[in-house]
Structure 1
């Protein structure tokens, strides 16, 4: 009886957070307690659907966007754009801390109960493997929003986020250390690697984790932790499943589309329609492109008077993108450079840029790359990441894990500054979360 009450409470609470419609399409309508593989697949589908669009909001804090001061919607994002975290306006859009935990609760249902209730099969293993992978990804993003950037020397004492591994109404959710949360992320990704048996997901199902995407996640985790050899190894394992790059010379299409040849995991809308409507590309961003030879400039940007709008993003689900092959190449190149394996790094980065520049531009760049030393190559790869992933939710996190540079935003004639290594590179827990949980 206690178990039934526990799940009834959980699903009522979770569904109230997410939507008011029937619980997916489990039959009979109104059923709350999952029993079959189909039921549990529906539970995890809801977990995927709940995963939030927080990378859009994080991008507002970085150096990619120039906000439209004439937009009525600006008031919803102004305090994020100006890093006013201490006492934001009540109508300021809130980072979706609660939705990440709602996703985690859905994965916990799968991990804790499907093992015992569902008959053994490859489909069951795949389902539970996806749940472990999705939980690892949710905790990874929670850390990289609401905790300090990973530092091996201080991770054991740096404040992380609460750890919830079961559906337990009596648990006190106090934050664990950054190191403890990473331990759980490691554990979850290893369990996922044991269980996942789908190499890559078919178009339309590629919001689900696969072998390719768990290694892509692993490579990102190790990149953020500066575990260069492990990041390179994981990138190679992911590339063994998915290594196609879109050649923009032959096919001038956005490589971040869910149906792109590069797509590995198409879970998130990383640049939502509200922000697309009230933001322009910043001069800081547009100035780093070769407008003659870089094929991405015309593909990514559209002139709007003296400024540029992004062609990426918006309300279409077609541009959902969490992991794609380009990231693997650039992760491998960065990690190899950090390891001073410049031969591997240069070969990898040249393979990538050959698909992004006109032939003449590539020829010139190839010569320049071959003559770069380690420091120059690292700078070039960082710029390629900035160019390639514009408005895809990477930039804020790349800044956190690298230079934490000074950023200046101007709004209504006022200059706002995020100084280098500013504590505001870590986002405070949302006010509503703190009110609901004094342990935060």
Structure 2
């Protein structure tokens, strides 16, 4: 049992789970090892369902919200809110290190076992391809939570996270470099690309990976790696399948809904309901919008006295990991980084035309066409802030761009996350460090 605890700590939560469709517990305790396509599909469905709400928790660290410290539930988020990562209070909500490795556990079962046990079929390929894609996405989130932002100059030496591609009770889970983790992510997406055969998933099943979701993931990964052309190419492949943008001048609906025409992968909560009830939009976030011409503003916020409550997020029908809006803004950013300023402006204008009143768009079109590269970059970053408010992008975007200073107030005292603060990288949870000295 000591050896089990020492080496399998990455997966102990997964193995301990009893509600995994009766398939995944070890045979000696009376469960069944998966053998059929339906059983392996149930395993992967559990993996999808296990995907945690870590991006919602990162929102607490950003400049997007102000929390109600008089609410009793605030105590569980207080130390996250003030970036007290070392020796937090025992009731503090922990970042989802173990849960993410649990997802990897389920993906590994499908990748390693279904490929051997199942006869060849398009359904088998699709299933295993999804498992590769899900594992890639999980490692991408892990390395962007618990490691430094990707830096081409230092990625081979910067510490990443442990790599676990199979269940091995004798393996010591030592963190690999950030470069190794990104290489594995790309390898997994390449394997997924060979196998996934559905261009898109039907509504209700669009929590599962498809070609368009895979290409969207690839575009995001390459953007974070600063591989601008590859990011652009992947975005174009995704947009060739779904390029729809909701025109808010015609239809005033949230684009984050799972049945939205923009939805590509509907898996994650950007801001869970408990946090939504605890929070108001920060003055800084509100000031980022033109309240008169930006059609997103009344969709995202409602006035409550002198504050603004979030209308967005907090509901299951708004689960959203990828949508077409991201692809347009990624294309604009990548084009700019490739010195294609005119192309970046064209892409950006095609996007904002769907988000502003006609008068607002006309003014912005004049402004954007006059922008230099620096101003255009700042505007693209601003559009990401406005478009993806409380969707879980902000913390990752701040890490890979400005790492700006953020100030939160608690009991009247200011707490500051300095620019380029080391706390832009979250330390491994204490429980993980206790169980695995290699961290």
Partner of 2:88: 88
- Give the TM-score taking structure 1 as reference length: 0.95
Q: Distance in 1 between matches of 2:189 and 2:404?
A: 31
> What's the offset of the Cα at 1:256?
0.6
Partner of 2:4: none
Q: Distance in 1 between matches of 2:434 and 2:359?
A: 58
Q: Distance in 2 between matches of 1:253 and 1:123?
A: 34
Q: Distance in 2 between matches of 1:143 and 1:14?
A: 20
Partner of 2:123: 123
2:23 and 2:39 in contact (8 A); partners too: no
Q: Distance in 1 between matches of 2:12 and 2:119?
A: 27
Q: Distance in 2 between matches of 1:319 and 1:353?
A: 22
Q: Distance in 1 between matches of 2:233 and 2:47?
A: 29
> What's the offset of the Cα at 1:343?
1.8
Q: Distance in 2 between matches of 1:31 and 1:416?
A: 50
Deviations along 1:58-101, one digit per CA (max 9) or x if unpaired, are 11111001011221111000000100001100000000100100
Moved more, 153-162 or 338-347: 338-347
Deviations along 1:313-371, one digit per CA (max 9) or x if unpaired, are 11x21010000000000000011011110121111111100110011111111111111
2:276 and 2:310 in contact (8 A); partners too: yes
> What's the offset of the Cα at 1:211?
0.4
- 2:224 aligned with 1:216: no
> What's the offset of the Cα at 1:225?
1.2
Partner of 2:110: 110
1:136 and 1:184 in contact (8 A); partners too: yes
**Alignment gaps of 5+ in structure 1:** 1-8
Partner of 2:406: 407
> What's the offset of the Cα at 1:25?
12
1:104 and 1:135 in contact (8 A); partners too: yes
Moved more, 77-86 or 342-351: 342-351
- 2:366 aligned with 1:391: no
- 2:363 aligned with 1:364: yes
Shift of the 176–11 alpha-carbon distance from structure 1 to 2, 3 Å rule, reads closer
Partner of 1:337: 336
Shift of the 304–15 alpha-carbon distance from structure 1 to 2, 3 Å rule, reads farther
Name the SS of the counterpart of 1:197 in structure 2: coil
Name the SS of the counterpart of 2:416 in structure 1: strand
Runs of 4+ in structure 1 displaced over 2 angstroms? 9-13, 19-26
Give matches, 1:255-274, under 5 Å.
255-274=255-274
Q: Distance in 1 between matches of 2:229 and 2:20?
A: 47
Q: Distance in 2 between matches of 1:157 and 1:206?
A: 37
- Give the TM-score taking structure 2 as reference length: 0.95
Partner of 2:374: 375
1:136 and 1:188 in contact (8 A); partners too: yes
Deviations along 1:91-128, one digit per CA (max 9) or x if unpaired, are 00000100100000111111111111000000100000
Q: Distance in 2 between matches of 1:298 and 1:24?
A: 46
1:51 and 1:103 in contact (8 A); partners too: yes
1:15 and 1:23 in contact (8 A); partners too: no
The RMSD of aligned alpha carbons is 1.9
1:218 and 1:234 in contact (8 A); partners too: yes
Name the SS of the counterpart of 2:240 in structure 1: helix
Partner of 2:70: 70
1:58 and 1:396 in contact (8 A); partners too: yes
Name the SS of the counterpart of 1:218 in structure 2: helix
Q: Distance in 2 between matches of 1:296 and 1:94?
A: 32
1:266 and 1:321 in contact (8 A); partners too: yes
Partner of 2:307: 307
Shift of the 212–20 alpha-carbon distance from structure 1 to 2, 3 Å rule, reads closer
Give matches, 1:191-270, under 5 Å.
191-270=191-270
Q: Distance in 2 between matches of 1:219 and 1:403?
A: 20
> What's the offset of the Cα at 1:23?
2.7
Q: Distance in 2 between matches of 1:12 and 1:434?
A: 14
Partner of 1:16: 16
Name the SS of the counterpart of 2:398 in structure 1: helix
Partner of 2:437: 438
Partner of 1:4: none
1:150 and 1:225 in contact (8 A); partners too: yes
> What's the offset of the Cα at 1:16?
3.2
Shift of the 219–53 alpha-carbon distance from structure 1 to 2, 3 Å rule, reads same
Deviations along 1:137-188, one digit per CA (max 9) or x if unpaired, are 0000000000000011111111100000001122111111101111111110
